[in-house]
Amino acid sequence: MSFVVGLTGGIGSGKSVVARLFAERGVPVIDTDVTAHALTAPGGAATSAIRAEFGDGMLDAEGALDRVAMRRLVFAEPSARKRLEAILHPMIRSESDRQLAANSAARYVILVVPLLIESGDYRKRVDRVAVVDCAVATQIARVMARNKLARDEVERILAVQAARSERLAAADDVIDNDGELAGLPPQIECLHRQYLALRSHVG
């Protein structure tokens, strides 16, 4: 079984960029966000269950999850998030396990889970936790620019995620992404060497 590094961080922290830097070093990356998008794309495995639970209004013209409509519903009706998670999380977990098994020969694997800390059982799933960190103000600015969301919408998303302090308390490794992107590769190279050494140490 591979040594599994759980990569997490709040929205807008830069998890995707960090994951790509690990992938460039030949490390298998299993991204649960990518899995979730595949499950909720047109014809995705979760779309029929979403339609049955929420109605046709939560799917767009192509049959994919309408993320804008779902975001509005979740803000208006918090229990909707739990209903959506009850559909998606078991499917995401199953696909993650399948991909982990498929990469069992790798020296180590990066498992990207945005809500890793919130899941509660993360220590059972990963050998090490790496947190991509930046200031909350930086998160807000990035998400507003990237997703074209209003500040209050971003703040509501942040409110249902673990606090920055909670993620940092759970971290074995912290990747600072509050500055220029040029600061990331040296950090990732250092961690890459560290994880290879740790994997060798644990056999």
Q: What is the pLDDT of residue 125?
A: 86
pLDDT in tens, 65-95: 999 899 889 888 889 999 999 999 999 999 9
Nearest to 5 by CA among 94, 121, 127: 127
- Chain-centre distance of CA 148, in angstroms? 20
The two three-digit tokens of residue 83, written as one number: 């209903």
pLDDT value at residue 151: 94
Q: CA torsion 27→190→128→176, rounded to 10°?
A: -110
pTM of the model: 0.91
Tell me the pLDDT of the chain (203 aa) as tens digits.
Answer: 679 999 999 999 999 999 999 999 999 999 999 999 999 999 999 999 999 999 999 999 999 999 989 988 988 888 999 999 999 999 999 999 999 999 999 999 999 999 899 887 777 889 999 999 999 999 999 999 998 889 998 998 898 899 999 999 999 999 999 988 889 999 999 999 999 998 766 55
Contact between residue 27 and residue 110 where contact means Cβ atoms under 8 Å apart: yes
Dihedral of the CA atoms 135, 110, 148, 146 (nearest 10)? Answer: 80
- Could you say which of 3.40.50.150, 3.90.105.10, 3.40.50.300, 3.30.1330.40 is the CATH number of the domain covering 1-28+108-203? 3.40.50.300
How far is 84 from 22, CA to CA, in rounded Å? 30
Positions of CATH 3.40.50.300 in the chain: 1-28+108-203
Q: Are strands 173-176 and 128-133 parallel, antiparallel or unpaired?
A: parallel
Model pLDDT, residue 123: 75
pLDDT number for residue 139:
95
Q: Give the phi and the psi of residue 11 in degrees, each rounded to 5.
A: -55, 135
